[in-house]
Structure formats: C-alpha cells, structure tokens
Structure 1
Amino acid sequence: MSNVTPFVLPARAAAQVVFDRAELNAILNIYGRLVAAGEWRDYAIAMDRDAAVFSCFRRASERPEAQVVKRPALRNKQGMFALIGEGGAVLKRGHELSSVLAPLERRLMKLVEA
C-alpha cells in the first residue's frame, strides 16, 4: 500500500518574454494619460518566446500607432527596449524603458503661454 509513484514533469516549455510589473506600470501610466488626452483608445499585449509587444491603437480597427517592444536577446547590443512607430520604423531604442518612452512623454507636454 505504500507504493510511491514518481511524478514526471513535462519537458520545460520555452520561456516566454513578458513585461515585469514595473515596466508594465510605466507603459500603462503613459497609455492612460494619452487615453485621457484623447489620442489612444485601445491596446494589445503580445508575448512570445522572442519578444513582448505592447501596441497602442487610435482605433481598434487600425494598425498600431506605437509599439513598445522588449527583446532580451538584444540586451547587450542595442538595448532590449524599442519604440516602433506606425509605419514600422524604430523611433527609439535603448537599455532603459524610461528613455525609450521619452518621445511619448513629449506628446503630453503642452506649451502654456504666460
């Protein structure tokens, strides 16, 4: 009655690239402010073995207006974060997420006359 059945774990699946909590918080902070400004209305998150992508849409039926991409394979080369524009061009690339999100921060700044 005391037979021990070994528990066989399946082969480890390939790891998935994800945004951690701090990164997602920074991205959603800017996303929320641009939604409040009326520029964006929808978003999508895609997580794959190679990259995690946060896409922002003006309308759900269009191509993404901006994409924040995390590719850990480029960590030691160009930086693992990239900001990609609507046409697919890389707008900014870097090692730190805050510097990559800077062009989106500039969209929120308004000139105030004194």
Structure 2
Amino acid sequence: MNIVNGTAFGTDGRSYDQVTFHRTELSAILQVYGRMVAAGVCKDYGISHLRDCAIFCMFRRTAETPLYRVEKHPRLAEKQGMYRVLGMDGRILKRGQDLKVVLQVVERKLIRIVKD
C-alpha cells in the first residue's frame, strides 16, 4: 500500500474505500490478544474497518467498554505514526510507526497482571 497525501492507494493506483489491517499487522495484534486471553484478562474482541481508520478492540467482557483499542490511521503516517494504542479511558498510551513497538505497552501491562 502506498500513502500519498493521507490517502491510501493500492498497487493498481486505485484508492481504498476503507482502511484495513494487513495480515502481518493482524497477526501481531492477535498474538498479544491471545496472551491476554490465556492470562484471563480478555474474553472478546471487535474489529472495525472504517473509511479513515481501522480499529481492533480488546474487551474484558462483551458488554463493557474496551480495555485497549489498537488503531491504524494511514493519514498520520508521516506525522505522529500510523498506529496507536488507547486505554479504557480514551488516553493514548503509545503511538508510532512500528506496530510491534506500539503493542509493547500492552505487553508490559500484561506482565504486571500475571506477576501479581
């Protein structure tokens, strides 16, 4: 995918109607989510593919607000970083260009939960 002026274009030059997670991105997110499920922290997830962003939400229970939201914003790729992790209260915990580095904030919190 190429990004020109904040618009995502495919290899054929057409713009996408919605932003999605690539297979490698989803794999990295699901690895962290799987560890959280194994630790008993999360039990459900949700994925939203919108016009300007893609969102992966991790829930403790289905009817609650998400514990963490992993968002992908291609328009912010050259400014703040394409990926960000938001906490339960909506605060940005980490943002950056590399998804694995951004997800480390969730990993650190998971280690504290298992350790206690």
Q: What range describes the TM-score normalised by the shorter chain of this pair? A: 0.7 to 0.9
Matching residue's letter, 2:39: A
Matching residue's letter, 1:66: Y
2:45 is paired with a residue of what secondary structure? strand
Match of 2:105 in 1: 103
- Runs (5+) with no aligned partner, structure 2: 1-13
Report which of the two has the higher share of strand.
2
1:101 is paired with a residue of what secondary structure? helix
Matching residue's letter, 1:39: V
CA distance 1:79–1:13, change in 2 (3 Å): closer
The reply to whether residue 89 of structure 1 matches residue 88 of structure 2 is: no
CA distance 1:88–1:20, change in 2 (3 Å): same
- Runs (5+) with no aligned partner, structure 1: 1-11
Distance in 2 (CA, whole Å) between partners of 1:104 and 1:74 is 21
TM-aligned CA deviation for residue 108 of structure 1 = 3.4
Match of 1:34 in 2: 36
User: How many residues were matched structurally?
Assistant: 101
Match of 2:62 in 1: 60
Superposed CA deviations along residues 45-77 of structure 1, whole A, max 9, x for unmatched, are: 000110000000000010001000000000000
Distance in 2 (CA, whole Å) between partners of 1:13 and 1:71 is 15
Q: Higher mean Cα deviation, 99-108 or 50-59?
A: 99-108
Identity %: 49
TM-score (normalizing by structure 2)? 0.81
Distance in 2 (CA, whole Å) between partners of 1:56 and 1:73 is 23
TM-aligned CA deviation for residue 105 of structure 1 = 1.3
Distance in 2 (CA, whole Å) between partners of 1:53 and 1:102 is 17
